Amino acid sequence: MHRVGDDVGGKKVEFIGFNPRENTPSVWLSSGSTLCQAMLFRTQPAVPAAAAAPAASAPAAPPPVAGGPNPVPADIASKIQKVSDTEFNIDRSVVDKILENQAELMKSARIVPETKDGKVLGIRLFGIRPDTLLGTLGIQNGDRLDAINGFNMGSPEKALEAYARLRTATELDITLNRRGSPVTISDHIK
């Protein structure tokens, strides 16, 4: 078993997470200024058990998209209040629930470190739909996450420090790059 910071074959473990596009746990490794992703194994989507035929009067709901992000549950959505496109009030219980179930959050976006001249600038987020948790919080498909509460997401150490402080934070300032322009989303945790 390896942890962030461990040496594996001359490379340093930078991040361990889930790649929802490939439906597999993944590890980000660095060697000097080079960063690469190693997919650990692919899991096959679960085959749903045969459901009973719906009543003739009730239309069948469309099946969920295999491997796609799940919409934000109603109990969480009801505790997120949109003040403006870049400001939200969030109940503390939502943050606690997210931290308890990080795997689900990791499945909601494809996360790709963005580099320039060998330096990681931030984390580009793909696969975000408006009805997912990240979409509900104002993050859009293709945004680059640059910083959280001033902690640079280009640095794995700073990203982990920002994560460690989430449980007690009362404000969350998310700095993004959206289509080349800076955007800050302010979350007020109550």
What does each of the 190 residues of the chain score in pLDDT, given as a tens digit?
677 788 888 888 887 777 766 777 777 788 877 777 777 655 444 445 444 444 444 334 334 444 556 788 888 889 999 999 999 999 999 888 887 777 777 777 888 888 888 888 899 998 888 888 889 999 999 999 999 999 998 888 888 888 888 888 999 999 999 999 999 999 999 9
How far is 146 from 160, CA to CA, in rounded Å? 14
Res 110: pLDDT: 85
The pLDDT score that the predictor gives to residue 1 is: 62
pLDDT in tens, 72-103: 888 888 999 999 999 999 999 988 888 777 77
pTM summary value: 0.62
| 89 and 120 Cβ atoms separated by less than 8 Å | no
- Distance between CA 115 and CA 120 in Å, rounded? 4
- 3-state secondary structure (DSSP) of residue 86: coil
What pLDDT was estimated at residue 40? 63
Q: How far is it, in rounded angstroms, from Cα 113 to Cα 120? A: 6
- Residues 6+ away with beta carbon under 8 Å from 17: 25, 26, 28, 106, 111
Sequence spans of domains, the chain: 1-43, 69-190
As a CATH number, domain 69-190 is 2.30.42.10
Residue 139 identity (one-letter amino acid): I
pLDDT at site 41 = 56
